[in-house]
Structure 1
Amino acid sequence: MKKKFIAILFLTVGALTYLILSYYPRLTIVTGFSAKSVASGIFFANRSQASIEEGDNDFSLLPMAENEVDFEERTVRSSIINFKNRKAVYRDGLGATLLPENPSGSGNMLRPNRKRSKVNLPYPYGDLPQKDTVFGEIDQEKLVSAINNAFDQVEKREKGTRSVLVVYKDQIIGEKYAEGFDESTPILGWSMTKSITATIYGILQKKGRINIYEKTGVAEWQNDARAQITFDNLLQMNSGLEWNEDYADISDVTSMLYEAEEMGKVQLEKPQTGKAGESWNYSSGTSNLLAGYLLRNILQDHQTYLDFWYAELLDRIGMHSALIETDFHGNFVGSSYAWATTRDWAKFGLLYLHQGNWNWEQIFDPEWADYVSTPTNGSNGRYGGHFWLNAGGHFPDVPRDMYSANGFQGQTVAIIPSKDLVIVRMGLVEDPDFDFNHFLSEVINSIK
């Protein structure tokens, strides 16, 4: 009996040791994700802690994290059985930021200046209700069915859709929200933020501040082949720089998002393992290099840098609900952390549908819309300039001219110029588990 007990104890200790060695290094990512997610959801999106933990933090090891919220200090501390404590703090105008374990300095506390002026025009160009418009070519029954089919039935969670908005010829023709969400709820776009980052470069191109086909001039790259990398290579994810975009383990992307103080410098330090222009590799590090390092250098003054994104794009087109969160040093996390309401995400899509023209004002040149929707070499027609494409027919029942801003868990702003359509879907389940080909084609086919 004693030998049996010793054997069981030995096996138990061995199993626990294996689990600790296997999972312990990941716990800092888990608690970091949890703290950041809860802080953003509570202090910006005005959601309850329970809804965030049950809806956003319910996958992988995240349910193991315990979150302690301090409403006075606007912080969230997360840990797993008192291991790997991580703390996120919410700062007005900058969003929720994970505090480094051993920070170098106190971080940058400058805030962007916002102009949220009211415009007496109907949606999408102003704050008034849209005018009633009847489109005879729309089969309302089919459209309602297509939208309803995107949502789960009661007490099921297979499709995970939180919102759907369909805009046709600048008119909202369909809109629906899951319980707990409505037209005023900001939703994290995850990698849709990349498309915002690209748009900032399109605006700079129009202003003559940069030429995307020129070399970046990064000082740290001047003594090797990286000196030849252009802004175009980075925007097309075709720089040849090493990067591992694996969210299931400790990787370049998870270490960057949940451990790095300055996210824009992580890709900066990577070697070139491919040839620029020939080595497409999806990289959130590249987006943050563009957003948090190169753009910061182009605009030079930090306050100017913070203001530019809002004054020249987001507030300029009435995306007043939008927030792009920053890293510890106040640099925008241009890969992942943009928030906006579903209606404001649709405005972003409409800006591209109209090739940069917003209510008779040209935000970026029409050629920029063509640039971002042109396939990147090596992507098989799936990727352009920080936008996803259907040029290669990935969605066989959707027009080939569709391109989209996409994010983790199926966040999508689909732009379909040939149909004069923008379709927004926000949720928790992505392709192929959520059938985007079927959903998009159903909406499209409701319009004759």
Structure 2
Amino acid sequence: MRKWIALALAVLIAALAGAGIHFRPDRAIRVATGYVAHNICSKAFVSGFDPQSVFAEISDRAGIRRLRHLLRFDLDRTARTVNASTLGLFRSRAAFHEGFGCVDVHGQDQPYLLKNDVEALKAKAPPSLPEIAGPTVVEPSDPTLKAALDHAFEEPAAPPFRRTKAVVVVHDGKVIAERYAPGVGIDTPLLGFSMTKSVVNALIGILTQQGLVTPSMPAPIPEWRGAHDPRREIEVEHLMRMTSGLDLDETNSGFDPSSRMFLEDDTAAYAVNSKMSAPLGKRWAYSSPTTQILARIVRDAVGGPEQTLAFAWRELFNPLGMRSVTLEFDVTGTLQGSTYMLASARDWAKFGLLYLNDGFAGEKRILHPDWVDFCAAATLDTDYAAGFWTNRSEHPHAKGRVRAGIPRDAFFASGDLGQRIMIIPSQRLVVVRLGDSVDPTGDIMGVARLVKEVIAAMQEPSFRDGPKDQIRNLEILGGARVPPSSLRAPE
């Protein structure tokens, strides 16, 4: 029976493709099999998870769920590859390379293999950021805080399930509570999905601090330099805020430009070659390909793929003491900046501390002095900032999060399936939640409850004995902010 289903599907798709149908289902199915192959590869070979369990979780997410009875995968531990298909059709492959994670393999072309020795890139000297915890899991001593973690891990009676993998709570630079699901530990690298966009934001911020890039400079894309090309007016900030007007809107349909990008060897070239479909700076649309353009800007600014990896370790991960990071690249050697970085929950928390501490790692300034407020300010009338989402907005979503218990000054990195780094300056607090929630909101209300209960626990006497001058009650105004003049390029 399945053979006849596969044959009928192939005939139908061939007919549609031959008829010139724009929304070709074969491409959408390849997007799905590519997602399955890549995510099983990363989670099995990098995170160390059981591939069957990973497949079960992946096949429960929206978009994949419709195909789950047709999907098949094969993991080859000798070749270190994962193949996925729908009943043998529309095959996709991902290959694992030690130190560099997984890469999608298209056709017969071999992917660009970086030549770095990743272990050699990791600094042996102490990091600039003081260590946030010891070698064992930090169990909460306060019963209210323990209850907050209990609630973050409890499952509802019916779907959608929460599937929390890790929670880390950092207050005043120290872990005060953490918990992990079975099979996950303090050093387990976990996929951040679109939290990787926030890491690209940091890399752009470092380049800004070093004087190599400014948000207001025209995006250094040679393909856009034609005298009559409207794209020549696109600035780096437009890409950061996803207001470029490029035809790269993301809908997660399998047919949208963001999905199709992952079928290409050169993901950034695909994004760069798109046309304008909206006025520059006037419309916001979420767009992973836009971040891929920023990833290419980073690559070109520092000199290439190997230099990108070395730059990230030297300027960002080592100063923060992030030891578990795996950055993944596309076939051509461009950082998969929209989606694919893995790190332990503690390392994701250390990244959050960089922004909580206004761009400092300990006494070392990493980001431009105005960078954090600039990147946490709302874009147009949305609750998106620049590589982060923000409560510093009048948007209904931001107001809803405030009502649910996430303070007004909070901003956060966010990734698919509920990956979150909540950064709350007024509470000197970073809360990391990682997992595989198939709730369409990424279990944002569960995260809001976690934050609210953590803050309530911090009102206990043991949390209120510190110096009064350490407590900052920030009054953050909503709406978009004018970028600080020091971040503007010279006229």
TM above 0.5: yes
Look up the match of 2:201.
198
CA 1:422–1:113 in structure 2 vs 1: closer, same or farther (change >3 Å)? same
State the Cα distance separating 1:154 from its structure 2 match: 9.5
Aligned: 1:446 with 2:451: no
Distance 1:295 1:128 in 2: 32
Structure 2 residue aligned with 1:36: 38
- Which deviations, in whole Å up to 9, do the C-alpha atoms of 1:386-421 show, x marking residues without a partner? 111011224123211100000001100000000000
**Aligned-partner Cα distance in 1 for 2:171–2:210:** 30
Match of 1:94 among 94, 100, 103: 100
Q: Secondary structure at the match of 2:417?
A: coil
Q: Which of 431, 434, 445 is matched with 1:426 structurally?
A: 434
Deviations 1:294-344 (Å, cap 9, x if unpaired)? Answer: 222222344222311121112331111011111011110100001000010
Deviation per CA, 1:83-116: give whole Å up to 9, x if none: 112211111232111111253xx33212344433
The one-letter amino acid paired with 2:416 is F
- Of residues 217, 233, 236, the one that matches 2:238 is 233
TM-score (norm 1): 0.88
1:277 corresponds to 2:281: yes
Relative to structure 1, is the Cα distance of residues 329 and 120 closer, same or farther in structure 2, using a 3 angstrom cutoff? closer
Matching residue of 1:52: 54
Residue 76 of structure 2 corresponds to 70
Asked if 1:110 is matched to 2:114, the reply is yes
Distance 1:45 1:63, change over 3 A: farther
The verdict on how the C-alpha distance between 1:116 and 1:126 changes in structure 2, with shifts beyond 3 A counting, is: farther
Change over 3 Å in CA distance of 1:244–1:444 after alignment to 2: same
Q: Give the match for residue 7 of structure 1.
A: none
Equivalence for 1:264: 268
Structure 1 residue 384 displacement after superposition:
1.2
Q: For 1:135-214, what aligned pairs fall within 5 Å after superposition?
A: 140-153=142-155, 158-214=161-217
Q: How does 1:6-45 map to 2 (within 5 A)?
A: 24-45=26-47
Give CA-to-partner distance per residue, 1:253-286, whole Å, 9 cap, x none: 11112x1101111221111122222211111000
Find the counterpart in structure 1 of residue 256 from structure 2: 251
Q: TM-score, normalised by structure 2?
A: 0.80
Task: Give unmatched runs, 5+ long, in structure 1.
Answer: 1-12
Secondary structure (helix, strand or coil) at the match of 1:297 reads helix
Distance in 1 between residues matched to 2:132 and 2:372, nearest whole Å: 26
- Contact conserved, 1:92 with 1:111, CA < 8 A, in 2? no
Mapped pair 1:85 → 2:87: no
* Separation (CA, whole Å) in 2 of partners of 1:362 and 1:186: 26
Deviates more, 1:63-72 or 1:276-285: 63-72
Q: Deviations over 1:108-129 (max 9, x none)?
A: 21234443345668x9634872
Give the 3 Å change call, closer, same or farther, for CA 124–153 of structure 1 in structure 2. Answer: farther
Structure 2 residues not aligned, in runs of 5+: 1-6, 17-23, 394-398, 460-491
Aligned to 2:417: 409
Whether the 8 Å CA contact 2:132–2:173 is kept in 1: the answer is no
Judged with a 3 Å threshold, the aligned counterparts in structure 2 of structure 1 residues 334 and 307 are, in CA distance, closer, same or farther, namely same
Q: Which has the larger displacement, 353-362 or 267-276?
A: 267-276
Superposed, which structure 2 residues align to 1:376-391 within 5 Å? 376-379=379-382, 382-391=383-392
- CA 1:443 to 1:327, structure 2 compared with 1: closer, same or farther past 3 Å? same
Alpha-carbon spacing, 1:113–1:375, altered in 2? closer, same or farther (3 Å): farther
For 1:281-360, what aligned pairs fall within 5 Å after superposition? 281-291=285-295, 293-360=296-363
SS in 2 for 1:240: coil
